[in-house]
């Protein structure tokens, strides 16, 4: 579990800024309820808006190794583009519907606390969830699940770390 949270944290550090205006997301469930209609609509800017921006991360934390983020960013951009491409091609015409979630684990870091060589200026909460949803293509509806890592950043709301 620790490794999974660590990988998700590094992924979150590498998400580039998004131009989409983001509303405050009050819970991990609310994030799932926002994500699946965006995927169904092919609105990938709205999906990108679920991730934290570089500006937000820079404002809430300081990392000891400044080279860590640029090194990971290239890998994450490539992987995220692959994920978006697969949604665009493999799931064209599929309607996704949110069902619910179950929290599997959490890690809380207090203001001033350190995690993965970064000091946080605000309290953060990392959580791993299993999201349940359905995928409907034509008349066939299939139940699906997916593990996600999300985090709450101070009073900024919840953000997707890794899907």
pLDDT of 122 over the 90 cut: yes
Burial of 117 (0-12, 13-18, 19+ CB in 10 A): exposed
Q: What is the pLDDT of residues 56-109, one digit of tens each?
A: 777 888 888 886 656 545 555 666 666 677 777 777 788 889 999 999 999 999
What's the number of CA atoms in the CB half-sphere (13 Å) around residue 56? 24
Using only the alpha carbons of the chain, give its radius of gyration.
Answer: 16
pLDDT of 6 over the 50 cut: no
Instruction: Return the CATH architecture of domain 2-162.
Output: Roll (3.10)
- Predicted pLDDT of residue 126: 93
Domain locations in the chain as residue ranges: 2-162
Question: Mean of the per-residue pLDDT values for the chain?
Answer: 79
pTM for the model: 0.78
Q: What is the pLDDT of residues 136-161, one digit of tens each?
A: 999 999 999 989 888 899 999 998 87
């Amino acid at each position: 579990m620790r490794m999974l949270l660590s990988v998700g944290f590094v992924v979150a550090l590498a998400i580039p800024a998004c131009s989409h205006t983001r509303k405050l997301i009050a819970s991990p469930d609310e994030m799932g309820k926002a994500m699946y209609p965006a995927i169904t609509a092919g609105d990938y800017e709205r999906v990108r808006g679920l991730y934290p921006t570089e500006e937000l991360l820079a404002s809430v934390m300081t990392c000891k190794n400044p080279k860590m983020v640029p090194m990971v960013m290239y890998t994450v951009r490539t992987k995220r583009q692959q994920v978006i491409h697969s949604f665009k091609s493999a799931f064209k015409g599929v309607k996704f519907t949110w069902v619910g979630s179950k929290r599997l684990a959490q890690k809380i870091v207090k203001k001033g606390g350190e995690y993965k060589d970064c000091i946080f200026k605000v309290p953060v909460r990392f959580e791993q969830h299993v999201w349940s949803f359905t995928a409907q293509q034509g008349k066939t509806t299939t139940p699906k699940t997916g593990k996600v890592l999300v985090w709450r950043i101070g009073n900024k709301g919840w953000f997707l770390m890794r899907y």
